[in-house]
Amino acid sequence: MTKNPIYLAAALAALAIGGCAQNAPQDDAAASALQAVETVYAGFAAGDIALATSTMAADIDWREAKGNPYADKNPYIGPDAVVSGLFARLGGEWDGFTATPEEFVTQGSRVIVFGQYGGTYLATGTALDAPFVHSWTVEDGKIVKFEQFTDTAGQVAVMAGAGD
């Protein structure tokens, strides 16, 4: 797999943030932020879009990674834009698309998630297996910002039928 320098830089930055936050006691803001983010992943995994969007602010600023084919509509502003511009496309173009979180790192209202994407691109029949880092910002229990970091070259290759 091609190593994406943006993904690696994001991972290192998240580790630096996390190294300080993982041993600190969770305050109310961090616990609330974590719960809001976990709700998105739970809803997405269950195919429950209402649940996945229930903790998003009305004006959420959602940004797919530069170079990602779905970044063509960046920024997605508001849950409706995320659902129609991104989630609906993923559901229509992929078989079994998943975004599986593996580690959550919180610091105040910020949550960094390390995880793995999976699924098969329908047009090519090629499987995706790519790491991601997601950065979430939560205010008053609502997600106000999302930013994705992933191996966009690998995703483009899968969508072109080349794969790893």
pLDDT for 163 equals 62
**In the structure encoding, which two tokens stand for residue 37, read together?**
């983010």
pLDDT of residue 101: 98
Q: Residue 164's pLDDT is what?
A: 54
Give mean pLDDT in consecutive 10-residue pieces for the chain, a chain of 164 residues: 44 43 63 97 96 98 97 98 97 96 96 98 97 97 98 95 71
Residue 7: phi, psi to the nearest 5?
A: -60, -45
Identify the pLDDT of residue 162: 80
Contact 126, 161 (CB under 8 A): yes
pLDDT at 27: 83
Q: Per residue in 66-91, pLDDT tens?
A: 999 999 999 999 999 999 999 999 99
Structure pTM?
Answer: 0.83
Q: What is the pLDDT of residues 106-121, one digit of tens each?
A: 999 999 999 999 999 9
- Domains of the chain by range and CATH? 5-160 (3.10.450.50)
